[in-house]
Chains A and B, each alone.
Chain A
Amino acid sequence: SQTIHQWPATLVQPVGSPLSLECTVEGTSNPNLYWYRQAAGRGLQLLFYSVGIGQISSEVPQNLSASRPQDRQFILSSKKLLLSDSGFYLCAWTSGPRLFFGSGTQLSVL
C-alpha cells in the first residue's frame, strides 16, 4: 500500500535560518506531489505542486522554494526564514482524484 512520510514533526527555527522539510512517498511511482501550508486559524494554502522530477509549479510568491530530486521525494526549503513562515506544513500526493496527506510539520519561527 502507499504511504507518505513527512519529517520532522515539529521544528523551531530562528528568523533568518535555513529550512529543509522532506517528504517521501512509498508504494507508487510518478505521483503528483504537493506542499500545503496552514497558518494558525486559517485554511489550507497550496504552495507548490510537482508532476514529475524537476518539475515544480509555484502557486504563490513567497520566501520558500521546492525541489523534487527523485520521483518520490519532495523537499520544501528556505534560505532565510521569516516570522510569517510559521505554520503547519503538509505534504500530499494524489492517486487519481484523491489527495492523501502526510502527518505534517509544525514550524515555529522565532
Chain B
Amino acid sequence: AQSVTQPDIHITVSEGASLELRCNYSYGATPYLFWYVQSPGQGLQLLLKYFSGDTLVQGIKGFEAEFKRSQSSFNLRKPSVHWSDAAEYFCAVGSYGQNFVFGPGTRLSVLP
C-alpha cells in the first residue's frame, strides 16, 4: 500500500538555525516526490519536486530536499530558517495516473 510518514508532528527551531523535516514513503513504483507548504488559512504551495536525475533538488524560498532511494526518504532542509517559514509542511508522493498520497504534515514554529 502507498503511504507517506512524517515522523515529526511539530518542530520548533530558532530563527537562523538549520532545519530538516523528515519524510519516508512506501510506494510500489518509482514515485514522484513533492514537498508542499501551507501557511495558516491558505492553500498549499509547491516547494519542490523530484522526478528523476540529481537526487538533491532545489526549491523555492531557499529549501532543498534529498531523495535517498535506499532509505525511501525525501527529507526537506534549509540552512537558515526565517520567521516567515513558520507553516505546515506536507510531503507527498504520486505518479502518472495515480492519486497523490500525502503525509500527515509537520508544523514548524520559529522562535525569534
Contacts and interface: CB of A to CB of B under 8 A. Distances in A.
A43 interface: yes
Contacts, number: 48
Contact of A43 (B34, B42, B94, B103): B103
B42 A104 contact: yes
A99 B96 contact: no
- Provide the main secondary structure of the chain A interface: strand
Interface stretch (A11-19, A64-72, A76-84, A90-98): A90-98
B46 A98 contact: yes
Interface string B24-60: 0000000010101000011111100101000000000
Contacts of A101: 36, 43-45
A106 interface: yes
Contacts of B90: 43-44
B43 A44 contact: no
B100 interface: yes
Contact of B100 (A88, A96, A99, A102): A99
Interface of A: 6, 34, 36, 42-44, 46, 49, 59, 88, 90, 94, 96-104, 106
